[in-house]
Chains A and B, each alone.
Chain A
Amino acid sequence: AQKVTQAQTEISVVEKEDVTLDCVYETRDTTYYLFWYKQPPSGELVFLIRRNSFDEQNEISGRYSWNFQKSTSSFNFTITASQVVDSAVYFCALRERSGGYQKVTFGTGTKLQVIP
């Protein structure tokens, strides 16, 4: 079973639309960490946000917002008023303890295309 599931493989939206990228995770740890990364067409992986399992407050950063819900094991990412520059692949990731070290698991990514 996937530990981090990004069920949306590709999403296309028209510019200025809002879009939500889903991330569902699975862990037995009570202390864990969740992340989102952005990979634009140029290829680099850019860190966007880190959230620990004890902090369920939603986070907003400009047009980006994140909704963390432990009850549904989800950490969803919403882009408001999308722009062409938001076109990228977005990865969700989970860090947890496993066998004495900090394991990290990435989802398979969601490719977002924002059409002008």
Chain B
Amino acid sequence: DSGVTQTPKHLITATGQRVTLRCSPRSGDLSVYWYQQSLDQGLQFLIQYYNGEERAKGNILERFSAQQFPDLHSELNLSSLELGDSALYFCASSLDRVYSGNTIYFGEGSWLTVV
């Protein structure tokens, strides 16, 4: 158990719909990351938050948005869903209070299927 909690674990929804994925980081971790992994693909970095602020953006579509709340949990919102958005979405967290290359721990992922 990495200590990173993601909900829901599985989600099936129709095209055009909107979903929200939720992530609770490990206790004390300030950074939250979101990754997308499509079938048999690598990890696509979407976005990183640090202590409530957006820190880095990757290949995140305009239909997707995220935020990190004051209690450090994070949500990833996916809207106008398309079949190609079906993927495993990971949340990860790391301490990052100072630059020390803290380990990034991953949640179990949220399996999204768009039908």
Contacts and interface: CB of A to CB of B under 8 A. Distances in A.
Interface of A: 31-33, 35, 37, 43-47, 50, 52, 91, 93, 95, 97, 101-104, 106-109
A104 B99 CA distance: 12
A43 B56 contact: no
A103 B56 contact: yes
Interface of B: 2, 31, 33, 42-43, 45, 48, 50, 55-56, 88, 90, 92, 94, 96, 99, 101-106, 108-109, 111
A32 B2 CA distance: 23
Given A43-B88, A101-B48, A102-B96, 6 more contacts: A43-B109, A45-B92, A47-B106, A101-B56, A104-B45, A104-B104
A50 B111 contact: no
Nearest to A91: B43
Interface centre among B96, B99, B102 (most CB of A within 10 A): B99
Nearest to A45: B106
